[in-house]
Structure 1
Amino acid sequence: MSTLRRPRDRRWIGGVCSGLGDRFGMPAGLVRTLFVLSCLLPGPQFVVYIILWIMIPSE
């Protein structure tokens, strides 16, 4: 496992899903898909994404 960082080269919006995928050994596409599917459920998903975008350092 690597440290939690937002990669510069594989970003779509903020690089949060790519960073989480790298950290936990999952493909970034799978993490993005899971995030989009979670948006169908009620909850603060977008707020959590923005907070992670601010808190996770960039490479």
Structure 2
Amino acid sequence: MEPVYDSLRALPFRRGPERWLGGVCGGIAAKFGLNPLLVRLLMLIAFALPVIGWVTYLVAWLVLPWQDNSIPLERVLGPGMRR
């Protein structure tokens, strides 16, 4: 699993410091130079679509690294699941 985590850390996205819940919208806004409120509004519109918004946000929340490069999925799976 370590190569997967390394490739996730190589992504140019980080969960932003300007966050309300998980920092996903703040990280996307920071990457593209957008207003975080605009990204949050677009995410709320996506939540209105069946499954797409919620699943996308949940997956992003699990795999996008924080500013310190820690990945929530890696923490959840624990050291026993890493190789």
Instruction: State the TM bucket, normalised to the shorter chain.
Output: 0.7 to 0.9
Give the length in aligned residue pairs.
56
TM-score by length of 2: 0.60
**2:47 aligned residue:** 39
Residues 36-55 of structure 1, C-alpha deviations (whole Å, 9 max, x = no match): 11222334211110110111
Residues 9-57 of structure 1, C-alpha deviations (whole Å, 9 max, x = no match): x211100000000111111110000111122233421111011011110
Give yes or no for contact 2:46–2:52 (8 Å, CA) kept in 1.
no
**1:27 aligned residue:** 35
% identity of equivalent residues? 38
Unaligned ranges ≥5, structure 2: 1-11, 68-83
Give the greater-gyration-radius structure (CA): 2
**Structural RMSD (CA):** 1.3
Higher RCO (C-alpha 8 Å, min separation 6): 1
TM-score by length of 1: 0.81
Unaligned ranges ≥5, structure 1: none
Q: Report the structure, 1 or 2, having the larger helix content.
A: 2
